Amino acid sequence: MKKINVVTDVFSEGTSWVLPDKYAEAIRAVSERVVLTVAQSRGELQEALPEAEVVFGRAPAGDELPLARRLRWVQLASAGANSILTPDFLRRDITLTTASGVHPIQVSEHIFALLLAFARRMHEYLAAQADARWDKDPVERTDELFEKTLGIVGLGHIGREVARKAKVFGMYVLATRRQAQEHAAAPDVDELLPPGRLPELLERSDYLVLCVPQTAETTGLIGRRELALMKPSAVLVNIARGPIVDEAALVEALREGKLAGAGLDTFEQEPLPPDSPLWRLPNVIITPHTAGSSPRYWERATALFCDNLDRYVHGKPLRNVVSRELGY
Protein backbone atom coordinates (compact mmCIF):
# COMPACT_ATOMS: atom_id res chain seq x y z
CA MET A 1 0.00 0.00 0.00
CA LYS A 2 1.64 3.20 -1.24
CA LYS A 3 2.03 5.82 1.46
CA ILE A 4 1.15 9.48 0.90
CA ASN A 5 3.58 11.81 2.65
CA VAL A 6 1.81 14.97 3.80
CA VAL A 7 3.51 18.00 5.35
CA THR A 8 1.64 20.79 7.11
CA ASP A 9 3.21 24.22 7.01
CA VAL A 10 1.76 27.67 7.59
CA PHE A 11 4.99 29.45 8.40
CA SER A 12 5.38 32.92 6.99
CA GLU A 13 7.56 35.92 7.69
CA GLY A 14 7.01 37.22 11.21
CA THR A 15 4.59 34.47 12.22
CA SER A 16 4.59 30.77 12.97
CA TRP A 17 1.59 28.59 13.54
CA VAL A 18 1.75 24.87 14.25
CA LEU A 19 -1.17 22.58 13.52
CA PRO A 20 -2.85 21.56 16.82
CA ASP A 21 -2.89 17.87 17.62
CA LYS A 22 -6.64 17.46 17.17
CA TYR A 23 -6.43 18.67 13.56
CA ALA A 24 -3.35 16.56 12.89
CA GLU A 25 -5.25 13.50 14.11
CA ALA A 26 -8.19 14.38 11.83
CA ILE A 27 -5.82 14.43 8.84
CA ARG A 28 -4.23 11.10 9.80
CA ALA A 29 -7.68 9.57 10.20
CA VAL A 30 -8.51 10.19 6.53
CA SER A 31 -6.58 7.12 5.43
CA GLU A 32 -4.04 4.57 6.65
CA ARG A 33 -1.97 5.62 3.67
CA VAL A 34 -1.42 9.12 5.06
CA VAL A 35 1.92 9.78 6.75
CA LEU A 36 1.75 13.25 8.27
CA THR A 37 4.66 15.47 9.27
CA VAL A 38 3.73 18.57 11.28
CA ALA A 39 6.59 20.97 10.59
CA GLN A 40 7.29 23.09 13.66
CA SER A 41 9.98 25.24 12.11
CA ARG A 42 11.25 26.24 8.70
CA GLY A 43 14.15 23.83 9.23
CA GLU A 44 11.80 20.91 9.86
CA LEU A 45 9.82 21.87 6.79
CA GLN A 46 12.92 21.83 4.61
CA GLU A 47 13.87 18.42 5.98
CA ALA A 48 10.41 17.03 5.16
CA LEU A 49 9.94 18.55 1.70
CA PRO A 50 12.07 16.05 -0.29
CA GLU A 51 9.63 13.24 0.60
CA ALA A 52 6.45 15.33 0.55
CA GLU A 53 3.76 14.45 -1.96
CA VAL A 54 1.23 16.87 -0.43
CA VAL A 55 1.65 20.17 1.42
CA PHE A 56 -1.12 21.77 3.48
CA GLY A 57 -0.75 25.40 4.55
CA ARG A 58 1.26 27.55 2.21
CA ALA A 59 3.10 26.66 -0.97
CA PRO A 60 6.86 26.16 -0.72
CA ALA A 61 8.68 29.43 -1.34
CA GLY A 62 11.05 29.93 -4.26
CA ASP A 63 14.12 28.58 -2.46
CA GLU A 64 12.12 25.67 -0.99
CA LEU A 65 10.43 24.52 -4.19
CA PRO A 66 13.52 22.74 -5.62
CA LEU A 67 13.63 20.64 -2.43
CA ALA A 68 10.10 19.36 -3.05
CA ARG A 69 11.03 16.96 -5.81
CA ARG A 70 8.04 14.65 -5.25
CA LEU A 71 5.42 17.32 -4.64
CA ARG A 72 2.16 16.69 -6.49
CA TRP A 73 -0.41 18.82 -4.69
CA VAL A 74 -0.50 21.95 -2.53
CA GLN A 75 -3.61 22.72 -0.49
CA LEU A 76 -3.43 26.36 0.58
CA ALA A 77 -4.88 27.45 3.90
CA SER A 78 -5.73 30.77 2.25
CA ALA A 79 -8.05 31.74 -0.60
CA GLY A 80 -5.68 33.83 -2.72
CA ALA A 81 -3.40 32.08 -5.21
CA ASN A 82 -2.02 34.99 -7.24
CA SER A 83 1.36 35.10 -5.48
CA ILE A 84 1.88 31.33 -5.81
CA LEU A 85 1.69 31.06 -9.59
CA THR A 86 5.28 32.03 -10.29
CA PRO A 87 7.09 30.82 -13.43
CA ASP A 88 9.00 28.27 -11.31
CA PHE A 89 5.76 26.89 -9.85
CA LEU A 90 4.00 26.85 -13.21
CA ARG A 91 6.82 24.80 -14.73
CA ARG A 92 6.03 22.01 -12.27
CA ASP A 93 3.14 19.57 -12.57
CA ILE A 94 1.70 20.51 -9.18
CA THR A 95 -2.01 20.79 -8.49
CA LEU A 96 -2.90 23.88 -6.45
CA THR A 97 -6.11 24.13 -4.44
CA THR A 98 -7.28 26.97 -2.21
CA ALA A 99 -9.29 27.33 0.98
CA SER A 100 -12.06 29.15 -0.85
CA GLY A 101 -15.27 28.62 1.08
CA VAL A 102 -13.64 28.87 4.51
CA HIS A 103 -14.06 32.65 4.71
CA PRO A 104 -17.65 33.73 3.95
CA ILE A 105 -18.99 33.90 7.51
CA GLN A 106 -16.25 35.95 9.17
CA VAL A 107 -15.39 38.07 6.12
CA SER A 108 -19.02 39.01 5.49
CA GLU A 109 -19.39 39.95 9.18
CA HIS A 110 -16.24 42.08 8.89
CA ILE A 111 -17.68 43.79 5.82
CA PHE A 112 -20.90 44.63 7.64
CA ALA A 113 -18.94 45.88 10.64
CA LEU A 114 -17.35 48.39 8.26
CA LEU A 115 -20.61 49.24 6.48
CA LEU A 116 -22.41 49.84 9.76
CA ALA A 117 -19.50 51.83 11.15
CA PHE A 118 -19.73 54.27 8.26
CA ALA A 119 -23.53 54.39 8.23
CA ARG A 120 -23.68 55.05 11.98
CA ARG A 121 -20.43 57.10 12.03
CA MET A 122 -18.84 54.84 14.64
CA HIS A 123 -15.31 55.77 13.58
CA GLU A 124 -16.06 59.40 14.38
CA TYR A 125 -17.63 58.59 17.72
CA LEU A 126 -14.60 56.52 18.69
CA ALA A 127 -12.32 59.44 17.84
CA ALA A 128 -14.50 61.73 19.97
CA GLN A 129 -14.49 59.21 22.82
CA ALA A 130 -10.68 59.17 22.79
CA ASP A 131 -10.80 62.95 23.32
CA ALA A 132 -13.61 62.76 25.94
CA ARG A 133 -15.66 64.91 23.58
CA TRP A 134 -19.49 64.84 23.44
CA ASP A 135 -19.81 65.19 19.68
CA LYS A 136 -23.49 64.83 18.91
CA ASP A 137 -24.13 64.81 15.16
CA PRO A 138 -27.08 66.41 13.44
CA VAL A 139 -29.69 63.76 12.69
CA GLU A 140 -29.12 63.97 8.94
CA ARG A 141 -25.44 62.99 9.22
CA THR A 142 -26.27 59.54 10.55
CA ASP A 143 -27.44 57.05 7.94
CA GLU A 144 -29.09 53.66 7.54
CA LEU A 145 -28.27 50.66 5.38
CA PHE A 146 -32.00 50.11 4.84
CA GLU A 147 -32.99 50.67 1.19
CA LYS A 148 -29.46 51.63 0.20
CA THR A 149 -27.89 50.09 -2.90
CA LEU A 150 -25.02 47.69 -2.30
CA GLY A 151 -22.72 46.89 -5.20
CA ILE A 152 -20.76 43.63 -4.97
CA VAL A 153 -17.89 43.10 -7.39
CA GLY A 154 -17.26 39.37 -7.47
CA LEU A 155 -20.03 36.93 -6.56
CA GLY A 156 -18.07 33.98 -5.21
CA HIS A 157 -18.49 32.37 -1.79
CA ILE A 158 -17.95 35.65 0.07
CA GLY A 159 -19.98 37.79 -2.32
CA ARG A 160 -22.96 35.47 -2.07
CA GLU A 161 -22.89 35.57 1.74
CA VAL A 162 -22.63 39.38 1.66
CA ALA A 163 -25.68 39.47 -0.61
CA ARG A 164 -27.62 37.21 1.75
CA LYS A 165 -26.86 39.41 4.75
CA ALA A 166 -27.60 42.57 2.77
CA LYS A 167 -31.16 41.43 2.13
CA VAL A 168 -31.66 41.03 5.89
CA PHE A 169 -30.78 44.73 6.21
CA GLY A 170 -33.25 45.60 3.47
CA MET A 171 -30.63 46.66 0.93
CA TYR A 172 -30.97 46.61 -2.85
CA VAL A 173 -28.20 44.39 -4.21
CA LEU A 174 -26.33 44.79 -7.47
CA ALA A 175 -23.51 42.39 -8.34
CA THR A 176 -21.09 41.60 -11.13
CA ARG A 177 -19.75 38.13 -11.79
CA ARG A 178 -17.12 37.24 -14.36
CA GLN A 179 -19.26 34.80 -16.30
CA ALA A 180 -22.63 36.49 -15.78
CA GLN A 181 -24.77 37.04 -18.86
CA GLU A 182 -27.35 39.75 -19.43
CA HIS A 183 -30.55 39.11 -17.47
CA ALA A 184 -28.93 36.33 -15.40
CA ALA A 185 -30.13 35.79 -11.84
CA ALA A 186 -28.56 34.84 -8.52
CA PRO A 187 -30.02 34.26 -5.04
CA ASP A 188 -30.35 37.44 -2.93
CA VAL A 189 -29.19 39.62 -5.84
CA ASP A 190 -31.69 42.07 -7.32
CA GLU A 191 -29.65 42.62 -10.49
CA LEU A 192 -26.77 40.44 -11.64
CA LEU A 193 -24.66 42.31 -14.20
CA PRO A 194 -21.94 41.13 -16.59
CA PRO A 195 -18.47 42.62 -16.06
CA GLY A 196 -18.98 45.08 -18.90
CA ARG A 197 -21.63 46.86 -16.84
CA LEU A 198 -19.28 47.58 -13.93
CA PRO A 199 -19.47 51.36 -14.62
CA GLU A 200 -23.23 51.22 -14.10
CA LEU A 201 -22.80 49.35 -10.81
CA LEU A 202 -20.30 51.96 -9.63
CA GLU A 203 -22.61 54.85 -10.51
CA ARG A 204 -25.59 53.34 -8.68
CA SER A 205 -23.96 51.95 -5.53
CA ASP A 206 -24.17 53.66 -2.14
CA TYR A 207 -21.76 51.04 -0.80
CA LEU A 208 -19.26 49.15 -2.94
CA VAL A 209 -17.70 45.87 -1.78
CA LEU A 210 -14.79 44.29 -3.65
CA CYS A 211 -14.71 40.48 -3.41
CA VAL A 212 -12.80 39.52 -6.55
CA PRO A 213 -9.56 37.50 -6.64
CA GLN A 214 -6.46 39.31 -7.85
CA THR A 215 -5.64 38.36 -11.41
CA ALA A 216 -4.17 40.13 -14.42
CA GLU A 217 -7.71 41.27 -15.25
CA THR A 218 -8.58 42.62 -11.81
CA THR A 219 -5.29 44.31 -10.90
CA GLY A 220 -6.02 48.05 -11.05
CA LEU A 221 -9.71 47.34 -11.66
CA ILE A 222 -10.75 50.37 -9.59
CA GLY A 223 -8.71 53.36 -10.72
CA ARG A 224 -9.20 57.09 -11.07
CA ARG A 225 -11.79 56.75 -13.84
CA GLU A 226 -13.84 54.18 -11.90
CA LEU A 227 -13.72 56.17 -8.66
CA ALA A 228 -14.94 59.24 -10.55
CA LEU A 229 -18.09 57.33 -11.49
CA MET A 230 -19.05 56.74 -7.86
CA LYS A 231 -21.33 58.96 -5.80
CA PRO A 232 -19.54 61.46 -3.54
CA SER A 233 -21.63 59.96 -0.72
CA ALA A 234 -20.52 56.39 -1.49
CA VAL A 235 -18.28 54.16 0.64
CA LEU A 236 -15.82 51.61 -0.77
CA VAL A 237 -14.87 48.44 1.12
CA ASN A 238 -11.95 46.31 -0.06
CA ILE A 239 -11.44 42.90 1.56
CA ALA A 240 -10.05 41.35 -1.64
CA ARG A 241 -6.47 42.33 -2.50
CA GLY A 242 -4.84 45.75 -2.31
CA PRO A 243 -3.64 46.01 -5.94
CA ILE A 244 -7.23 45.76 -7.18
CA VAL A 245 -7.56 49.44 -6.21
CA ASP A 246 -5.26 52.23 -7.39
CA GLU A 247 -4.25 53.43 -3.93
CA ALA A 248 -3.00 56.86 -5.02
CA ALA A 249 -6.26 57.52 -6.89
CA LEU A 250 -8.24 56.39 -3.85
CA VAL A 251 -6.35 58.77 -1.55
CA GLU A 252 -7.01 61.59 -3.99
CA ALA A 253 -10.75 60.83 -4.15
CA LEU A 254 -11.03 60.64 -0.35
CA ARG A 255 -9.10 63.87 0.19
CA GLU A 256 -11.09 65.81 -2.37
CA GLY A 257 -14.52 64.65 -1.15
CA LYS A 258 -15.21 62.62 -4.28
CA LEU A 259 -15.81 59.60 -2.07
CA ALA A 260 -17.29 59.62 1.43
CA GLY A 261 -15.20 56.85 2.92
CA ALA A 262 -13.24 53.63 2.54
CA GLY A 263 -12.99 50.54 4.71
CA LEU A 264 -9.74 48.82 3.81
CA ASP A 265 -8.45 45.43 4.93
CA THR A 266 -5.93 44.94 2.11
CA PHE A 267 -3.31 47.22 0.62
CA GLU A 268 -0.80 47.50 -2.22
CA GLN A 269 2.00 47.05 0.31
CA GLU A 270 1.55 45.07 3.53
CA PRO A 271 2.13 45.92 6.28
CA LEU A 272 0.85 49.35 5.31
CA PRO A 273 3.85 51.71 5.64
CA PRO A 274 3.68 54.25 8.50
CA ASP A 275 4.03 57.10 6.02
CA SER A 276 0.98 56.06 3.99
CA PRO A 277 -1.54 58.94 3.87
CA LEU A 278 -4.32 56.41 4.43
CA TRP A 279 -3.42 56.29 8.15
CA ARG A 280 -4.26 59.95 8.58
CA LEU A 281 -7.45 60.28 6.55
CA PRO A 282 -10.45 60.71 8.87
CA ASN A 283 -12.80 59.00 6.40
CA VAL A 284 -10.81 55.75 6.28
CA ILE A 285 -11.10 52.71 8.54
CA ILE A 286 -8.06 50.43 8.37
CA THR A 287 -7.90 46.81 9.51
CA PRO A 288 -4.61 44.87 9.12
CA HIS A 289 -5.73 42.13 6.70
CA THR A 290 -7.80 40.48 9.42
CA ALA A 291 -11.19 40.12 7.72
CA GLY A 292 -10.62 36.37 7.46
CA SER A 293 -9.62 35.91 11.08
CA SER A 294 -11.80 33.60 13.15
CA PRO A 295 -11.32 31.21 16.08
CA ARG A 296 -12.88 28.58 13.81
CA TYR A 297 -10.61 29.23 10.83
CA TRP A 298 -8.40 26.19 11.19
CA GLU A 299 -11.33 23.95 12.04
CA ARG A 300 -12.88 24.89 8.70
CA ALA A 301 -9.63 24.86 6.74
CA THR A 302 -8.70 21.42 8.06
CA ALA A 303 -12.17 20.05 7.32
CA LEU A 304 -11.83 21.26 3.72
CA PHE A 305 -8.36 19.72 3.44
CA CYS A 306 -9.54 16.40 4.90
CA ASP A 307 -12.35 16.24 2.36
CA ASN A 308 -9.91 16.99 -0.46
CA LEU A 309 -7.37 14.52 0.92
CA ASP A 310 -10.02 11.79 0.91
CA ARG A 311 -10.75 12.68 -2.71
CA TYR A 312 -7.02 12.56 -3.51
CA VAL A 313 -6.62 9.14 -1.89
CA HIS A 314 -9.52 7.76 -3.93
CA GLY A 315 -8.60 9.46 -7.21
CA LYS A 316 -11.61 11.79 -7.24
CA PRO A 317 -11.63 15.42 -8.50
CA LEU A 318 -10.41 17.93 -5.91
CA ARG A 319 -12.35 20.98 -4.78
CA ASN A 320 -11.08 24.52 -5.44
CA VAL A 321 -8.49 23.63 -8.07
CA VAL A 322 -6.79 26.80 -9.28
CA SER A 323 -6.89 27.42 -13.03
CA ARG A 324 -3.43 28.29 -14.30
CA GLU A 325 -5.02 30.40 -17.02
CA LEU A 326 -7.44 32.35 -14.81
CA GLY A 327 -5.25 32.55 -11.70
CA TYR A 328 -7.96 31.42 -9.28
| pLDDT tens digit sequence for 12-44 | 545 556 788 999 999 999 999 999 999 988 889
Is residue 122 helix, strand or coil?
helix
Residues 122 and 27 in one domain: no
Task: Establish whether 270 is a catalytic residue.
Answer: yes
Q: Cα separations (Å) of 81 from 75, 105, 320, 322?
A: 10, 20, 11, 7
Confidence of residue 263 (pLDDT cuts 50, 70, 90): very high
Please give the share of the chain, as a percent, with pLDDT higher than 70: 96
Q: Give the whole-angstrom CA distance, residue 237 versus residue 284.
A: 10
Whether 69 is covered by a domain: the verdict is yes
DSSP string, 161-183: HHHHHHHHTT-EEEEE-TT--TT
For residue 248, how many other CB atoms are within 10 A of its CB? 12
Enclosing domain of residue 224: 104-286
Strands (E), the chain: 4-9, 34-38, 54-57, 73-76, 95-97, 149-153, 172-176, 191-193, 207-210, 235-238, 261-264, 284-286
Residues 180 and 39 in one domain: no
User: What digits encode the pLDDT tens for the residues 62-98?
Assistant: 899 999 999 999 999 988 888 898 999 999 999 999 9
Whether 318 is covered by a domain: the verdict is no
Task: Establish whether 314 is a catalytic residue.
Answer: no
Residues 31 and 110 in one domain: no
Residues 97 and 140 in one domain: no
What's the pTM? 0.93
Whether 323 is covered by a domain: the verdict is no
Q: Give the whole-angstrom CA distance, residue 191 versus residue 149.
A: 11
Catalytic residue selected from 289, 299, 311, 319: 289
Residues 242 and 307 in one domain: no
Catalytic residue selected from 70, 270, 296, 324: 270
Cβ atoms of 134 and 110 closer than 8 Å: no
Whether 327 is covered by a domain: the verdict is no
Whether 228 is covered by a domain: the verdict is yes
Residues 96 and 231 in one domain: no
User: What digits encode the pLDDT tens for the residues 223-261?
Assistant: 999 999 999 999 999 999 999 999 999 999 999 999 999
List b or e across 95-115, with b for residues whose CB sees 16 or more CB atoms inside 10 angstroms: ebbbbbebbbebbbebbbebb
Residues 65 and 209 in one domain: no
Whether 67 is covered by a domain: the verdict is yes
For residue 304, give the CATH number of its domain: 3.40.50.720
Residues 19 and 118 in one domain: no
Is residue 74 helix, strand or coil?
strand
Residues 98 and 109 in one domain: no
DSSP string, 90-103: HTS--EEE--TTSS
Confidence of residue 9 (pLDDT cuts 50, 70, 90): confident
Whether 134 is covered by a domain: the verdict is yes
Whether 249 is covered by a domain: the verdict is yes
Task: Establish whether 289 is a catalytic residue.
Answer: yes
The predicted model gives 267-292 an average pLDDT of 97
User: What digits encode the pLDDT tens for the residues 156-198?
Assistant: 999 999 999 999 999 999 999 988 777 789 999 999 999 999 9
Residues 114 and 79 in one domain: no
Residues 146 and 237 in one domain: yes
Instruction: Report the domain count for the chain.
Output: 2
36 beta partners: 6
Residues 182 and 120 in one domain: yes
